[in-house]
Amino acid sequence: MKVPISLTEYFSADLLQAMLSTLIEHELLESEEAFHSNRFLNRSVVPHIKNLSERFNRLSDQKVSDHYWKGSSNPQNLRMAYLLHFMPANLYRMACVWTELNRLGFQWPKQNQLRAVELGAGPGSATSGIAIAESISESKNSSLPEQLKWTWIERDSQMMKLGQTWNQKLFQMKNKPWTIQKNHQKLDLSQPLFDRKTPAFDLWVSSYFLNEIEDTPEDLAQYLIAQWKTHLNKNGIVILIEPALKKESRKFLSFREALLKQVEQERKFSLQVITPCLGNQKCGALMEPEDWCHEVVRWWRPDYYKKLDQLSGLNRKDLPFSYLVLTRDRRPIEDILPTLSNTSSNKRHRLVSPSYATGRDSEFYLCGQEGKTKAQIRLQKEEVPTRGDILLGTELEGMDHRPRRVLSVDSVLNIEGKHPVQLIPKRNA
């Protein structure tokens, strides 16, 4: 997914200042000087980044479902390491998905305020991501109401308190009159998340959370549908961001299938996937036992972040992730995402891989109504689409051709908007 430059550069010096003062207020960091010392970073931050990274990437024996904030030998430093290193990256992933929704023409209903919930909030990275996405110049015509009332659900109260201080500073800097209510609570499939009297939400988000729930995708799907029936408004939106690792991503795709299978049996409750898949079709990646689906975004890491990467032996220049945006809205997807209008659903395809040059052609994987397929196209170099771009009005060569040739395409929908493209006929090339 290509991202507006203003978003790739979101991490300004004043954000770092706000993060450091948050850490100092919570007595996790003694002073700003300490933060600028490699000795301090090497002792107090880097080991925790490595530890969390190994845990999250399933490279260690430690389970990701453990209560790691409590189990650590130094929970204070662990939380500091998370805020400095994992939060800004997860914030950015959410901001990218949010920006894509805006780009596709998504409009919020005209009302004074929205109610939103972030599950497994940790420091509220998804909340921060939306605040950042809404403050870049590309969002100046955003339809989001001014007031967002957040409810956070998180099993670690310290992490949430830290996140609340950080987010409140961010809201102030970005002129957002948003509020946060913290629910110190463990999500447990045997208990409803909210009592009956809690009003429904317009927006549900979670980031890098569902993979920490050990229940089966089917049980999790059934549970969340039950919560959404009572606590997601009729035109509400759900944004879920999860790791790009093959095993976790496949589990997430199975969760998508389980959601859609259960929804098919429902009479009164509907749910549709609006991105990255442009509809409820069967998952193309799940058709192959070794395949999975993920996005990748690139950002300008702030200098301190590059230093932490370097000291930890990591390189978080490219940020991969899996995601799903769902809605209860029953309207056709073209009404929800008007930029897709005037193309029939079976002629919309998303690039789900990078483009590779093969001779004069470009080759990539496309995903659409009929699943995932390898395809080739011949275009002027500057028009070649990249991962995440959407082709509209595509005609593909028959199924028995591998790779299938793109015989015609009306336009490409990418970061710059929708623009027509002209195929170069093979014989003229």
Ligand X SMILES: C[S@@+](CC[C@H](N)C(=O)[O-])C[C@H]1O[C@@H](n2cnc3c(N)ncnc32)[C@H](O)[C@@H]1O
Interacting residues toward ligand X by CB under 6 A: 69, 86-87, 90, 120-122, 125-126, 153-156, 159, 186-187, 207-209, 212
Within 10 angstroms of residue 172's Cβ, the number of other Cβ atoms is 12
| Burial (CB count within 10 angstroms: exposed 0-12, middle 13-18, buried 19+), residue 201 | buried
Cβ burial of 369 (10 Å; 0-12, 13-18, 19+) is middle
CB of 205 to ligand X, least distance (A): 9
Q: Could you give phi then psi for residue 415, rounded to 5 degrees?
A: -55, -30
Q: Smallest distance, Å, CB 139 to ligand X? A: 21
Nearer to ligand X, 215 or 383 (CB): 215
Q: Which residue has the closest beta carbon to ligand X?
A: 122
Q: How far is the CB of 156 from ligand X (least distance, A)?
A: 5
- Pick 209 or 304: Cβ nearer ligand X: 209
Looking at the Cβ atoms of 4 and 123, the one nearer to ligand X is 123
DSSP string, 402-415: SSEEEEE-SEEEET
Query: Strands 179-184 and 295-298, how do they pair?
Result: unpaired
Q: Which is nearer to ligand X, 212 or 329 (CB)?
A: 212
Q: How far is the CB of 320 from ligand X (least distance, A)?
A: 14
Nearest approach in angstroms of CB 308 to ligand X is 16
Closer CB to ligand X, 155 or 387, in the complex: 155
Smallest separation, CB 122 to ligand X (Å) = 3
For the record, the structure tokens of 121 come out as: 């909030």
Give the residue from 416, 272, 385, 411 showing the smallest Cα distance to 335. Answer: 272
Element (H, E) at 162: helix 157-173
Instruction: From 215, 219, 242, 256, select the one nearest 65 (Cα to Cα).
Output: 215
Question: Which CB, 17 or 191, lies closer to ligand X?
Answer: 191
Query: Buried (b) or exposed (e) across 69-85, using 16+ Cβ within 10 A?
Result: beebeebbbbbbbbbbb
Nearer Cβ to ligand X (157/342): 157
Place of tokens 């209903």: 109
CB 40 → ligand X: shortest distance, Å? 23
